[in-house]
Every structure is written in C-alpha cells, then in structure tokens.
Amino acid sequence: MKVTICIGSSCHLKGSRQVVESLQKLVADNKLEDKVELSGTFCIGKCQQGVCVNVDDEFFSVSPETVNEFFNTQILAKV
C-alpha cells in the first residue's frame, strides 16, 4: 500500500508535518513498515481539502486531529 502525503505549502500550513509524524509513528507501532510505503509530494492539486493524502489512487482529506481515525479505517483495516 502506498500512502502519499502532500507536503506543499498549503497542506504544510494545515499541519502536514504532524500528519506525517503521526503516520510514521503509527506505521512503526503497528510494525507495518513492510506493507505500507509512506511518501511525500509537493501538491496534489486539491489545496482547499488539505492535508491531502492519497492511499494508492484514492484521495482523502486528513488533519492532525483526524489522522488516528484515518489510519485505523483506511490503512490498518485494509492492509
């Protein structure tokens, strides 16, 4: 599973660093390093909906507040 987090300006201001750090920790805590590949991108083109995250080709709008729920439902439940 490939998870791409936008680190462009707009998403950065909405907390993409916190989202990245949380996902890195959650992936490590759940020992999913082999199954989940985290990567960054500069701008997915949906700046209004940031922090923009793509799971494979599916788009999600995530925030530092919703990142745990996002991980549980979209990553942990599906790997």
Partner 1 sequence: MRKFDTKVQHLKYKVLREVARHAWDDSLYDKILDIPSIISPGKTPTMRCCVYKERAILTERVKLAMGGDKSNPNVIEVIDIACDECPAAGYEVTDSCRGCLAHRCEDVCKRGAITFDQYHVAHIDKSKCVECGQCAKVCPFSAIANRKRPCQNACKVKAISINSNNAAHIDNSKCISCGACVYQCPWGAISEKSFILDVIATLKASKSGNNKVYAVVAPTISSQFTYAKLGQVITGLKELGFHTVIEAALGADMVALSESKELVEKGFLTSSCCPAFVMYIQKTFPELVPFISHNPSPMTAISEHIKKMDPTAKVVFIGPCTAKKMEFQLDSVKPFVDSVITFEELQALFDSKGVDITELDEGVLDNASYFGRIFARCGGLSDAVTEALKEQGIEDFVLKAFACDGIEECRTALLKKSKNVLDANFIEGMACVGGCIGGAGCLTHGEKNKSEVDKYGREALEKTILDATSVLNM
Q: Where are the beta strands (DSSP E) in the chain?
A: 2-6, 37-41, 52-55, 58-61
Phi-psi region at 43: left, alpha or beta (left = phi > 0; alpha = psi -120 to 50): left
Choice from 32, 43, 55, 76 touching partner 1 (CB under 8 A): 43
Residue 13 in contact with partner 1, rule: CB under 8 A: yes
3-class secondary structure, 27 = helix
Q: For partner 1, what does the binding mask look like between residues 51 and 70, x meaning CB under 8 A?
A: --------------------
Tokens of 47: 């700046």
Stretch that binds partner 1, among 16-24, 28-36, 60-68, 69-77 (CB under 8 A): 16-24
Output the smallest distance, CB 39 to partner 1, in A. Answer: 5
